[in-house]
Amino acid sequence: MAHAIWSGSINFGLVTIPVKLLTAVRTNDVSFNMLHAKDEGRIKYERLCSVEDKPVPWDEIVKGYEYEKGEYVILTDEDFKKVNPEATQSVDIMEFVELEKINPMFFDKPYYLEPTKQGRHAYALLREALARANKVAIARVVIRTKETIAAVKPDGDALVLELMHWADEIVGQSTLDLPADVKLPEPEMKMAKMLIDSMSVDEFEPEKFTNTYHEELMAMIEARAAGKEVPRPKKAPARAKVVNLMDVLQQSLEESKKQREGRTAAAPKRAAHRASPSGGAKRKKKSA
């Protein structure tokens, strides 16, 4: 069971909804230690002073901001306390907006909001009101002394708090060299749309996609730990060089149709296998 990051409230006008903030996503990153190849000893890092070229204890280290080359402003813990936002542990709703009006690039990290027993009714009211209005709430929130803006969204039976980037954190497209006014041949556009249609699905099923790199890395680690031969990774098929865009689109469309026909043909077999006694749970042996 996930542990609450904090317990606070959603402030919606004069309505206060007691909630808990819980992590909504987890990463499957594999962590490694740096070792000495000769004897597998753990590598330690020293805090060296660039002027004296000798180790420095923690109690002699301060934080500095380099405002010019080699020139620093030193800040103390007291200085940080003066500018740190008050950890109010509240989600203060400022306004409401349609989700489609927000650039997805602004969204960063989601958290679950779970109501306490006292806040269940008001929680459900806000969730349903947002869903019916097709809007999300824009709020200010402080998490671990860091203030940010966030969106409160309905997601099934839950309200999700999704942290957002500030406007000045988004890199503008004006810095990129992008094709703008390009006249596209109608046959290419028609073929591209046909390819999109052939690869389209009714709904997104995230369970179909797996982290291949993570699986192969863990298989390698487990094999090494067991003293077994390391499995060979699967090689990706070589991509043909693009010579004529229409030819490549046509080939892609034909390949997509073959894959779809293969999946369609395999579906009844998989269903029959699941329904058969041998394909599902094992039969119980008859008692003598």
- Quote the mean pLDDT of the chain: 84
Predicted confidence at residue 82, as pLDDT, reads 76
Predicted confidence at residue 95, as pLDDT, reads 95
pLDDT tens by residue, 203-259 = 888 888 887 878 888 888 888 888 888 767 667 666 666 567 777 878 888 888 877
Predicted confidence at residue 285, as pLDDT, reads 43
Of residues 66 and 3, more confidently modeled: 66
Residue 284 pLDDT exceeds 50: no
Q: Residue 278: which pLDDT band, with cuts at 50, 70 and 90? A: very low
Each as own residue / partner, the long-range contacts of residues 213-221 (CB below 8 Å, 24 or more positions apart, any chain) are: 214/28, 214/30, 217/30, 218/30, 221/30
Of residues 14 and 284, more confidently modeled: 14
Residue 283 pLDDT exceeds 50: no
Residue 167 pLDDT exceeds 90: yes
The percent of residues in the chain predicted with pLDDT above 70, rounded, is: 84
Rounded CA gap, 243 and 226, in Å? 48
Residue 87 pLDDT exceeds 70: no
CATH 2.60.40.420 assigned to domain 4-25+84-167? The reply is no
Residue 21 pLDDT exceeds 50: yes
Predicted confidence at residue 157, as pLDDT, reads 96
Residue 149 pLDDT exceeds 80: yes
pLDDT tens by residue, 57-76 = 999 999 999 999 989 999 98
CB atoms within 10 A of CB 51: 6
Residue 187 pLDDT exceeds 80: yes
